[in-house]
Amino acid sequence: MSDAEPQFQTTQKNQTTWVLASNNKGKLAEFKRLFAEANLDVTIIPQGELDIEDAVEDGLSFIENAIIKARHASCISGKPAIADDSGLCVPVLGNAPGIYSARYAGEHGNDTNNNAKLVAELQPTRAQQPDTPIKGLFVCVLAMVRRADDPLPIIAQGLWQGEILDQPHGEGGFGYDPLFWLPDMQATAASLSATDKNRVSHRGQAIQQLLQQL
């Protein structure tokens, strides 16, 4: 079974079914591995398998958008739902691309163009401070609702700090991973194995927090 076609069903009986409110193949592959390691007594179904389209993300923060997506999936499916909203924040750009990370260059999910725009936007800063690393922060917020109108969503957040390179390195991962340099590991996020990335990433941290609250 390939990461491009993640399956979340476990083998236990009498399980609760949750919907994962994402159609992003990269995220689905990571969630597949992370939830498998957690041994949850649930069946987790990607929303695409239920023909649920992406929600309109019109919130102004990661938390708002995660809750919007979770409520949307729960409303249509009638089941509990988990949603992720994540992105890259670069302080020298006013924390852009932020919640617009997936569509930073205009077209949703075009990693090549998004990375190219980020490199271009950082050129003036690099020219002014050529010897100063440019800090970046990957953010992941998870929201879990038991029903669409759940007044108390469970919220978990993971933060992953690194530096932004001026050219991509590494063949793995997705999104801005090839530009995200980890000084302590001497590698980009795109150069890490799936196991190592899950152990330290923003998404891995958020899922661990979520599991503790559950």
Which residues are the active-site residues? 85
Distance of alpha carbon 73 from the chain centroid: 17
Q: Look at residue 157 and give its three-state secondary structure.
A: strand
- Residue with structure tokens 């932004």? 164
Beta bridge mates, 187: 182
**Is the alpha carbon torsion for 68, 80, 142, 3 positive or negative?**
negative
Helix 25-38 and helix 202-213, axial crossing angle in degrees, nearest 10: 40
Token duo for residue 189: 């996020």
Q: Which amino acid is at 69?
A: K
Yes or no: say if 92 and 166 are a contact pair by the CB < 8 Å rule: no
